[in-house]
Structure 1
Amino acid sequence: ILDKVAEQLATIGRTSGAGAEPETLVLVGGFARSPWLCERMRARFGERHRILVPPDPALAVLEGAVHFAYRPDVFVSRQAKYTYGFETAKPFEEGVDSTMRMYRDDEGDLLCVGRFGVAVRRMDSVRVNDAHPFRIVPVREDQDELDVRLYRSAKADPRYVDEDGSEEIGRLTVDLSGTVGRPLRERPIMLLFYFGAAELRVEVFDPATGGTSRVSVDFDRV
């Protein structure tokens, strides 16, 4: 088990952006009641990390959940476990994107469909409930609704939503009927990601009509 802990610490050090492993390790849960385990942790990691053990490590998990239920604002930021984003179309790159993904929109632009639009990358630190806005447009002038599909990926920089490691976690639809027939660039849609302490909330907003759609996904599921 100590080797697994060492591997996780090394991974955090590589991906956190800080360039170093965490300074403090807090041992909680039933196993942290074991004097032998605590002593082995101190012997293995005590020179590089401060080891903290609550008076009742098993109860600490429950108490933390209760505190969060009453004071969710105690969470200021969280670290993304996955890369989160949405399905989108981006400029087609010859020699990189398959022609099977090629699509020409109503303005003649050559696009690659099925691209992964990244909202937050894996291991990024995000402030709780801060908005992450994105501007998207439909691909057809006669398009009367926009179906937005949300994805997560175990990769830091996924290219496509259907590649290995990517998984759909939700979807939502916004009504575009009020702007049908307008040029595509005059039909912008705002996509807003909010990373809460316990859930991911996504909203789609049409500035031209005021149409809004939203969905929330528990982090227990994503």
Structure 2
Amino acid sequence: MAAGDRAFNSNDYPVILGIDFGTTFSGCAYAFTQNEEVVDIVRWPKQNNQVYPKTPTLNFYQGNSSEMTQWGNAARIEMQRPTARNSVLLKQYKLYLDENIAKDLPPLPNGLTIVDAIADYLQKFHEHVVSELKKGFARNYGQHQFRYCLTVPAMWSDRAKSTMRDAAVKAGLIDENDHRDRLMLISEPEAAALYCEKKCEQYDLKHGDRFMICDAGGGTVDLIVFEIDDHTGRKLRESTKGHGQSCGSVFLDRRMRKLLKRLFKDYLSKIPASAFETMMDTFVDVIKPQFDGIEDQYISLPASMNLESPSNPDIGLEDGMLCLTAAKLRSDVFEPVVKEVLSLIEDQLVKAGSLQAVFLVGGFGSSNYLFERVQAEFGSRIGLIAVPPRCELAVVRGAVYFGLNPRVVTTRIPRYWYGIDTTTTFEEGIDPPSYKLIREDGSVRCDNRFSVYVRRGQPLDIDNCVSKDFFAYYPHHTTCTLYAAVTDEMPRYTTGPGVRKVANFTIPMPALTGVMEGEKVDLSIKMYFGEVELRVEAVIRGKTYGTTCTFDTD
């Protein structure tokens, strides 16, 4: 962390790249700091002139090798070749960083770790982006002049965010010795909020107005409410503790796949897997985006289905066309997922009290059916429900705006209690006897007490810094363990339910002149919680030192 000692100079980086690494698709946009015009990367390898401005998040590994040979569209094409038998097409692996889901997922194949998988993809993705930039006006700049802003789901833990940073370093976006601010993380709904706010001249939102971002992507749906603060230039403050869930549009795909398997249950032994994939492609590319809940939908069966007869009225099959009624699609595929999104919105609306607008962004956010349902449910209570232009790019464009002006979000609301482990006076009758410590001076202390640094749900300013004083014995390094809790009330003990260890911070003891071994040295530990990532520094005799942090692996 020696790099932390150097001051960061944003002028060293005239090009800002925003990267949205998504569950199903990833995108990139960039801008030059001098003119701030955001440019989308719209050309991706092996993309048959599609208009979709993002590329699939897919890695292809031949056989049981751990070396990725194709990525994005090329990985999908590779998988369809006969030679790809027993190979691995890795998809939706971003879900491994959602700790609520990860515990139920099988281990990654071919001995890969999640950092490997993300780094493999980001490396190739980044190489392509750099080559695209070189074709445009960016050819006057070297890659060492690029600064990065990477988006992460708001619901991720600190550890998941740190894993993402590790993967970006491993992928070679930045060098380990670069200043950490060269790579910034921003939460996805926050990025989307910056984009909507930029676009909201047409929506006429004013100082003090509140709007909700509902960022519905492939894997996750994230919600957060922002208030516009116009006092000193336009700034945004988070006004509810954001909230999200893994209930994005891949969950529609999973339900659709189950529905097809149910319909064709009598034929399953005969139908090749590729035929199911072809039908699923029709659902994903054609039905899902434009389904409105009213019109029946049709899928023409691939020839490889090998059915004796092209008709079967029982399942809606007629002359090689499968009819899926609107009612069936609503009840079996769309409603269960959309209902989850509606209840997330309801929950945030109750917390916020009143709202002027809701913006739906993300790939699933552009679903007609989702829009209709949100409109029907909330139209009478919220003045404006809108889908901004190119809403699937809202997050990546917002990431670039954030890179151009990282201080535009001034207040954030923590989702956890944060604290460290301390000993305090033992209270008879309250504290468990096993936590009792008797000191040499006769004082009776209670171990494992949670000493709070940050209160859950209490707004924090971006520069919020909590500083506490400690001492260490020279020349020993100090470690401090940070705990987080999601409980409603502040936890009393670090061992209590809902409290988990987040990380260990190592505070290096510098060489000090004239200090004897074993002498007490005063130090302050400063923690910054108002940024997207945790930052911990130590101040020893007026000098500030960075700390190294190891995240706890469960």
Is the Cα contact below 8 Å between 1:85 and 1:117 reproduced in 2? yes
Matched, 1:129 2:495: no
Equivalent positions of 1:70-81 (< 5 A) are 70-81=404-415
Q: In structure 2, how many angstroms separate the alpha carbons of the residues matched to 1:41 and 1:81?
A: 25
Select 2:378's aligned residue among 40, 45, 51. Answer: 45
Q: In structure 2, how many angstroms separate the alpha carbons of the residues matched to 1:117 and 1:65?
A: 35
Q: In structure 1, how many angstroms separate the alpha carbons of the residues matched to 2:471 and 2:526?
A: 14
User: Who is 2:418 aligned against?
Assistant: 84
Q: In structure 2, how many angstroms separate the alpha carbons of the residues matched to 1:83 and 1:203?
A: 19
User: Who is 1:171 aligned against?
Assistant: 504
Is the Cα contact below 8 Å between 2:505 and 2:549 reproduced in 1? no
Equivalent positions of 1:20-99 (< 5 A) are 20=353, 22-49=355-382, 50-99=384-433
Decide which structure has the larger Cα Rg and report it.
2
Larger proportion of strand: 1
Q: In structure 2, how many angstroms separate the alpha carbons of the residues matched to 1:127 and 1:53?
A: 29
User: Who is 1:149 aligned against?
Assistant: 481
Larger proportion of helix: 2
- RCO higher in structure (CA 8 A, sep ≥6): 1
Classify the secondary structure of the residue corresponding to 1:42: helix
Classify the secondary structure of the residue corresponding to 1:76: strand
Q: In structure 1, how many angstroms separate the alpha carbons of the residues matched to 2:538 and 2:439?
A: 21
Matched, 1:214 2:547: yes
Is the Cα contact below 8 Å between 2:460 and 2:530 reproduced in 1? no
Classify the secondary structure of the residue corresponding to 1:96: coil
Classify the secondary structure of the residue corresponding to 1:80: coil
CA RMSD of aligned residues (A): 3.4
User: Who is 2:450 aligned against?
Assistant: 116
Classify the secondary structure of the residue corresponding to 1:90: strand
For 2:380, the aligned partner's letter is: E
1:135 is displaced (CA, Å) by 3.3
Q: In structure 1, how many angstroms separate the alpha carbons of the residues matched to 2:355 and 2:452?
A: 26
1:3 is displaced (CA, Å) by 4.6
Alignment gaps of 5+ in structure 2? 1-336
Alignment gaps of 5+ in structure 1? none
Identity of aligned residues (%): 29
- Measured against aligned partners, the alpha-carbon deviations of 1:168-203 in whole angstroms (never above 9, x if no partner) come to 121124449958466xxxx65423221243211122
Classify the secondary structure of the residue corresponding to 1:38: helix
Structure 1, 42-51 or 77-86: larger mean CA deviation: 42-51
1:33 is displaced (CA, Å) by 0.8
Is the Cα contact below 8 Å between 2:504 and 2:550 reproduced in 1? no
Q: Which runs of 4+ in 1 moved over 6 A?
A: none
Distance verdict in 2 for CA 1:215–1:129, change over 3 Å: farther
What TM-score comes out, normalization by structure 1 length?
A: 0.75
Classify the secondary structure of the residue corresponding to 1:77: strand
